[in-house]
Amino acid sequence: MANIGFISLGCAKNQVDCERMMYRVQEAGHQVCAGIEGCDMVVINTCGFIDSAKSEAIDYILMTAGLKEQGRVGKILVTGCLSQRYQAQIMQELPEVDGVLGTGSYADVVSAIDRLLADEPVSLFGSIDAPELETGRIVTTPEHYAFIKIAEGCDNRCAYCVIPSLRGKFRSRQMDDVLYEARLLASSGVKELIVVAQDTSRYGTDFPEHQRLLPELLRQMCQIEELEWIRIHYLYPDEIDDALIDVIASEPKIVKYLDIPIQHCNSKILKLMNRRGDGQYLRQLFAKLRQRIPGLVLRTSVITGLPGEGEAEFEELCLFLKEMKLERVGAFPFSPEEGTPAAEMEHPDLETAQSRAAMVETIQSRIMDEYNEAMIGQTLQVLVDGYDEEFGQYFGRTYADSPDIDGRVWIASEEDLSEGSFLRVCIDGLVEGDLSGYVVEEDV
Ligand code: SF4
């Protein structure tokens, strides 16, 4: 029995992969530790799809290597996208690393750990197209919400993206397995289930019948009594059909919040990036969604400085965002990733890409302020997430806020509030871009 510590970086999908490794390790009789100090082994589950993520992963590896040098941790096993992408280089360039696992070898984590503890070398890179083996998880999010990964990989092959080469072809999990996990999570206290994949809208299309099964999956999830909120991320614009819109509009448990990454709105750039749909299509889609789903909050992400983006195309993106008034937007400067077609194309320099991303953030912060100001005086349903010692207040989220990426509601309350409880909160102000309010009543 060894003490194993875990560090998980990157997206929610990677976090779920880490939770599954933790479960396998615990089932094998090892101790999964809350921190890394004093551990016999530290598993660093990395992200590696853009430069900033790569640097962060390397920083964590070097930080852990420093602890190793001081004898405060034992061995280091690197897993996830960075190891999948730089298989041989990691061990060559980071000799402090004892072993590497690719994204096709998560199920081998226990044998990898046992071999490393026996001082055997480990470098395992299984097929990234193989079906994922079902297993349990040690959920690392607060008890009342959890991510659920419904599929792995991606077939969209956007020209700037390395994910298909790191995560393989699109593979849906069997619906029974997803629902079994959803029920298990709900019975363990999860109230908010956040549905994730590289492309959730494609769920089921890789099964023999090639049907879009996300609507059916969501409908069945809504039958799970304990669940209160079901939130959907990573929808691909042109995969959103009437069946999906109907289930989102008609099921009260599905929060009226949709994450639909568009990356850009200029038709020439979208075509160049091998993305389907164009500016006109996106306008019509957003108008239709807003018309069919009252109170809808839209989240998206855009990339600035993509190949083909001159001043005119960037201006077009800014006008599009001002016109669409999307409530939540993440802006990322283009990161030319070796091995992608886009990296070979001419593109604005990093400085330009970064300053454009900053301009998008300015546009968006005005739109978000407008949205927040419109909330003042309203009484909203808020899910309590916790208490901030520093701020001295409870905080939570409305349906319009996904954990970690969106805003908060600061809740003034004399009483102690319990995490995971739903309250009716009257919004009476703004605090640094977040809403604030007081409890009106428990939301039973
Ligand atoms: S949809 Fe495009 S950007 Fe998203 S993971 Fe797939 S290839 Fe990458």
Q: Using one digit for the tens of pLDDT, what is the confidence trace for 4-34?
A: 999 999 999 999 999 999 999 999 999 999 9
What's the average model confidence in pLDDT over 352-374? 97
Distance 30 CA to ligand 1 centre (A): 36
Ligand 1 test: best mutation among 84, 156, 206, most atoms within 8 Å of CB?
Answer: 156
63-76 confidence digits (pLDDT tens): 999 999 999 999 99
Q: Whole-number mean pLDDT of the chain?
A: 96
Distance from C-alpha of 320 to C-alpha of 312, rounded to nearest angstrom: 12
Sign of CA dihedral 238, 239, 242, 246: negative
Best substitution site from 47, 81, 157, 161 to test ligand 1's pocket, by max atoms within 8 Å of Cβ?
A: 161
DSSP string spanning 413-426? Answer: -SS---TT-EEEEE
* Residue 162 alpha carbon to ligand 1 centre in Å: 8
Query: Measured between alpha carbons, how far is 312 from 195 in angstroms, rounded to an integer?
Result: 36
**What are 184-207's pLDDT values in tens digits?**
999 999 999 999 999 999 999 999
Answer yes or no: are the C-beta atoms of 225 and 253 closer than 8 Å. Answer: no
Confidence band (pLDDT; 50, 70, 90) for 379?
A: very high
For atom 4 of ligand 1, which residue has the closest CA? 198
The pLDDT score that the predictor gives to residue 414 is 87
Amino acid in position 241: D
Judge contact between 231 and 238, C-beta under 8 A.
no
User: Rounded to an integer, what distance in angstroms lies between the CA atom of residue 13 and that of residue 299?
Assistant: 18
The pLDDT tens digits of the residues spanning 407-426 come to: 999 999 989 999 999 999 99
- Per-residue pLDDT, averaged over 352-366, amounts to 98
Q: Which residues contact 66 (CB under 8 A, 6 or more apart)?
A: none
Report, as an integer, the average pLDDT of 262-271. Answer: 98
Centroid of ligand 1 to alpha carbon of 158 (angstroms): 6
For residues 108 and 143, the answer to whether their CB atoms sit within 8 Å is no
Question: How many whole angstroms from 326 Cα to the centroid of ligand 1?
Answer: 21
Pocket residues: Cβ below 6 A from ligand 1: 154, 156-158, 161, 163-164, 198-199, 236
CA of 155 to the centre of ligand 1 (A): 8
Among protein residues, the one with the nearest Cα to ligand 1's atom 8 is: 161
pLDDT bin (cut points 50, 70, 90) of residue 346 is very high
pLDDT for 279-305, tens place per residue?
999 999 999 999 999 999 999 999 999
Task: Identify the residue whose C-alpha is closest to ligand 1 atom 5.
Answer: 198
**For residue 360, how far is its CA from the centre of ligand 1 (angstroms)?**
21
422: Cβ contacts below 8 Å, ≥ 6 apart: 191, 228, 381, 382, 383, 384, 442, 443
Predicted TM-score (pTM) above 0.75: yes
| Interatomic CA distance for residues 422 and 380, integer angstroms | 10
Ligand 1 centroid – CA 153 distance (Å): 9
- Quote the ligand 1 centre to 156 CA distance (angstroms): 6
CA of 275, closest atom in ligand 1: 2
Cα(309) to centroid(ligand 1), Å: 19
Kindly indicate the confidence band of residue 133, based on its pLDDT and cuts at 50, 70 and 90.
Answer: confident
Ligand 1 atom nearest 199 alpha carbon: 1
Please, is 175 exposed, middle or buried when counting C-beta atoms within 10 Å of its C-beta (0-12, 13-18, 19+)? middle
What number does the ligand 1 atom closest to the CA of 162 have?
A: 8
443 falls in which pLDDT band (50, 70, 90)? low
The best mutation among 50, 199, 303 to test binding of ligand 1, ranked by most ligand atoms within 8 Å of the C-beta, falls on 199
| Amino acid, res. 126 | G
Give the contacts of 414 (CB within 8 A, at least 6 positions apart): none
- Locate 392 and state its tokens: 């001295």
Work out the percent of the chain whose per-residue pLDDT is above 90: 97
Confidence of residue 442 (pLDDT cuts 50, 70, 90): low
User: In sequence order, what are the residues at sequence separation of 6 or more whose Cβ sits closer than 8 angstroms to the Cβ of residue 73?
Assistant: 5, 36, 37, 38, 39, 40, 41, 42, 64, 67
| pLDDT at res. 252 | 98
Predicted pLDDT of residue 132: 86
d(C-alpha 424, C-alpha 202), whole Å? 35
Q: Is the pLDDT of residue 444 over 70?
A: no
